[in-house]
Amino acid sequence: MIPISFWFDPVSPYAYLAFERMPQAFEGCSYAVSYRPLLFAGLLKHWGQLGPAEIAPKRDWTYRQVLWLAERQGSRLDLPAAHPFNPLPLLRLLAACAPEGDTPNRWQCEQVLHHVWHGGAAADDPARLAELTRRLAPARDPQSDAVKQSLREAGDAALARGIFGVPTIELPPRAGETSPRLFWGQDGLDMAAAALRGEPWFDGPAWNAAACVPAGVQRR
């Protein structure tokens, strides 16, 4: 089985949609997933970007698009009472669900994502968070320094790989390469699936050549 990593933040509706569709998109492939929660805002800060919900017209478009995508792929999606929200409590809960040095399982990730994207309630409501924590029964204290440090390390590991957004699917390096291959976004699922199936395009020159195009004009 090919080991892959699914980097995500539950604040992202695209991460939720990709999570829901991944088993269907990867049907017939031999793979094992590690689910790796990380703070999307940390990526944005590092790369000097704004999130989709921080640009007013893009925010409206994002919500319209994800509702349409959910309808198209047959996934339930209810916008939370307010968005964006602070996802740190949910990220810490996910990190705490796994033993030190491990990652949460799919069921635990599903519970957190459904907490956000099913029902239309406030994702950061204290009573709902308490109930979710009770249901997941994390192995570690979500407020512990060790859990907080593990999230910081996840962010550092993502940046070291060149990850800039969520969701990102990480596949191992190809023969002769040292860096993993990254597939960004809900709409990158089919491309990642094609790579998993060994389509010949991924053995050709185009993948690496795309990273060698010189920049023309750069904004300051």
**Phi and psi torsions of 41, nearest 5°:** -60, -30
Decide if 209 is inside a domain. no
pLDDT for the residue 113: 98
Is-contact 111 132, C-beta < 8 A?
A: yes
pLDDT for the residue 219: 78
Tokens encoding 43? 């990526």
Is-contact 11 78, C-beta < 8 A?
A: no
Residues 6+ apart with CB under 8 A from 133: 93, 142
Decide if 20 is inside a domain. yes
**Domain span at 17:** 2-203
pLDDT for the residue 176: 85
Look at the chain and report how many structural domains it folds into.
1
Could you list the mean pLDDT of each consecutive 10-residue stretch along the chain, which spans 220 residues?
A: 97 98 96 98 97 95 98 98 98 95 96 98 98 97 97 98 98 91 97 96 94 88
Decide if 16 is inside a domain. yes
Decide if 218 is inside a domain. no
pLDDT for the residue 150: 96
Decide if 122 is inside a domain. yes
Per-residue b/e over 156-168, b at no fewer than 16 CB within 10 Å? eebeeeebebbbb
Q: Quick one: how far is CA 153 from the chain centroid? A: 16
Residue 51, Ramachandran bin (φ over 0: left; ψ between -120 and 50: alpha; else beta): beta
Decide if 37 is inside a domain. yes
Return d(Cα 81, Cα 121) in angstroms, integer.
Answer: 5
CATH of the domain at 49: 3.40.30.10
Residues 6+ apart with CB under 8 A from 6: 18, 19, 22, 33, 34, 35, 36, 167, 168, 169, 170
Q: How many helices (H) and strands (E) does the chain have?
A: 9, 4
